[in-house]
Amino acid sequence: MTASVLVVDDMEPNRRLLQAKLEAKYYTVFMAADGPHALESALRHEPDIILLDVMMPGMDGDEVCRRLKASAATRHIPVVMLTALTDRDDRLRGLEAGADDFLSKPVDDFGLFARLEALMRYNMVSNELRTRDSAGAREEHFSDFEQESLDKPASVLVIDQNNSEARRVAKSLEAVGHQAATWMDAQASSIRFDEIDIVIIALSDQNHDALKLCAHLRALKEARDFSMIVTCSVADQPKGVEALRIGASDLILTPLDMLELQARVRTQTRRKRFVDILRRRVDRGLELSVIDHLTGLYNRRYMLERLQLWMQRSAVNEKPVSIVAFDIDHFKKVNDRYGHEAGDLVLRNFAARLRTNIRPQDIACRPGGEEFLLIMPDTREELAEVGAERIREAIAAEPFLIERDDEYIKVTVSAGIATYNGEEGLLADFLHAADQALYRAKQNGRNRIETMAA
């Protein structure tokens, strides 16, 4: 996935250097040489991430960050401050201003790309949730209850073999209202991972392989929602970078500065709560409005919405979007002969096979009856044909078991493909083109696929 980055620095050589590094990794780069231009560019381009120099004449980086975070239009964009490694006051001021992360100048490639990836992961989740949430989730639309929950104290687990250091960390977090336990203390009682918001793991001076532990914690099913912060010495920074790669969301250098730690825990907590709120809203919204209850696929309403969106994207980025309209052959006979319950079982089984034979980016919908529609983003006609053929085969390969009577029903499906290349055209025309192709598949003997062009 490509992402866009806004680079803000008053020194041209610094801007050029970052631009070259980022473009080499296929990031889209916007640049600004001072605060006012940075604010304007952030508003106009809505970049995915902003790299912001602290020391600038006129409006400095802290002020730019404060203004970005104060505006509803730019608040959600992560800001990474570029600071001198040793300047503790810089960092604290940046965190006060709402910065999401720091990079030391000169910027090393490992640190840069690991942090960008960690932020992109966060962005991807929150953006996808935001587009799925029909209520248009932005912070200013949150209820009072949701707003309050953003700043509720966190439950933190501190993992460090040096238990006195772990206790010191836990104490400093408790001092600002969080609940914190060290691993050793927590083992005395039993840990409930689903109640933990943040895990802090020391990477340096540990007997066990702390990176393996990170990976292991990430893989725990009940624990997948907590944020992981790792700490390490400057000498162990490569380990820290690796930890960011495998899912840690922040890295703090030792010796720990407790004020920095408190500020970063606050940022991570807010971020986690924000995603939690979006996820809850989406779950609730999906239940109510976009899921077809019989099959669990998306319903007609969601289908039309997403299709419209992908057609618009296609018109802008010149990538085709394909749709495949499926219709189960002779479905009426199934209903007539075996009853509606059996008919529903066939629809459900069909949906299950459809779902296991599509790519993650494909969107499977049931607009109604025995009709199904697959939206295939960024997919040209020939590829859509390959995908549709795989599904047709998966359906015809094995008859469907109707458990009630231990009876098997042979089911086949016909499909019509249409591809949109960004030309003038309406959603209704696009759907009609797929229906026409489907009609021809039926005419030509069923259990087959036809394309628009044929």
- Residue 431: both structure tokens together: 């759907």
Closest distance of CB 60 from Mg ion, Å: 9
Alpha-carbon span 377 to 320, nearest angstrom: 7
Find the catalytic residue in 146, 165, 370, 450. 370
Nearer to Mg ion, 82 or 265 (CB): 82
Nearer to Mg ion, 63 or 139 (CB): 63
Closest distance of CB 222 from Mg ion, Å: 45
Nearer to Mg ion, 65 or 230 (CB): 65
Q: Position 67: which residue type?
A: R
Closest distance of CB 107 from Mg ion, Å: 13
Indicate which single residue of 10, 34, 185, 435 sits in contact with Mg ion (rule: CB under 5 A).
10
Residue 42: name the closest of 67, 6, 10 by CA.
Answer: 6
Closest distance of CB 11 from Mg ion, Å: 6
Phi, psi of 255 (to 5 degrees): -65, 140
Contacting residues for 336 by C-beta, under 8 A, at least 6 apart: none
Task: Confirm or reject binding of residue 53 to Mg ion (CB under 5 A).
Answer: yes
Task: Confirm or reject binding of residue 394 to Mg ion (CB under 5 A).
Answer: no
Task: Confirm or reject binding of residue 87 to Mg ion (CB under 5 A).
Answer: no
Listed as own residue / partner, the contacts of 284-288 with beta carbons closer than 8 Å and 24 or more positions apart are 285/132, 285/133, 285/134, 285/135, 286/132
Report CA-CA distances (Å) from 365 to 26, 307, 434: 33, 11, 14
Indicate which single residue of 55, 135, 184, 258 sits in contact with Mg ion (rule: CB under 5 A).
55
Task: Confirm or reject binding of residue 62 to Mg ion (CB under 5 A).
Answer: no
Nearer to Mg ion, 56 or 180 (CB): 56
Residue 282, exposed/middle/buried by CB under 10 A (0-12, 13-18, 19+)?
Answer: buried
How big is the site for Mg ion, counted in residues (CB under 5 A)? Answer: 3
Nearer to Mg ion, 10 or 117 (CB): 10
Task: Confirm or reject binding of residue 256 to Mg ion (CB under 5 A).
Answer: no
Please indicate whether residue 424 is annotated as part of the active site: no
Closest distance of CB 48 from Mg ion, Å: 23
- Which string of DSSP letters, residue by residue, matches 159-226? E-SSHHHHHHHHHHHHTTT-EEEEHHHHHHS---GGG-SEEEEE-TT-SS-HHHHHHHHHH-STTTTS
By beta-carbon distance, which residue lies closest to Mg ion? 55
User: Catalytic site residues?
Assistant: 370
Report the interface residues with Mg ion, using CB under 5 A.
10, 53, 55
